[in-house]
Structure 1
Amino acid sequence: MVAASAGNHAQALARHAARLGIPCTIVMPDTAPLIKVTNTRATGATVIQSGETLSDGMALVERLIAEQGLTLVHAFDDLAVMAGQ
């Protein structure tokens, strides 16, 4: 799975992926708080920092989906995510 997030969604997704034994790639902006980047990595997720904004990161996410067949778990534009919140 893959997502773009500056922190909270990244950490939650990474933690649940680890519990389920699912590989997780998170694209975070270069401006993401260091503690959130560190905590996301600590769960075992692959963190890629790219761009200044989440929009910049989504471009990379789209490329990763196309190249690696990853599944997008969008931070807010996903009915299942909204139902879980």
Structure 2
Amino acid sequence: MTVEALIIFLLIGAIAGWLAGQVVKGHGFGLVGNIVVGIVGAFLAGWLLPRLGLNLGLSGILGEIIFAAVGAIILLFLIGLIKRA
């Protein structure tokens, strides 16, 4: 992985995590936490959405951000459920 690819990967994770934190109020984790939530959310979306038969049909960086944000929103929702239990 090149340095440029790593920087883009981290930026997409940070933006996706920030977007998810805005959608799911009260679950912002700061810059590093948002990057982690965005990256884990992207993996979650990559695993879960195809199994549910959902294909967002998006391409490019904007598509990757939206895809990762959807996964991060699901992740934050699950974290919220666990915290309530």
Structure with max Cα Rg: 2
Q: Normalising to structure 1: TM-score of the pair?
A: 0.30
Higher strand share: 1
Q: Normalising to structure 2: TM-score of the pair?
A: 0.30
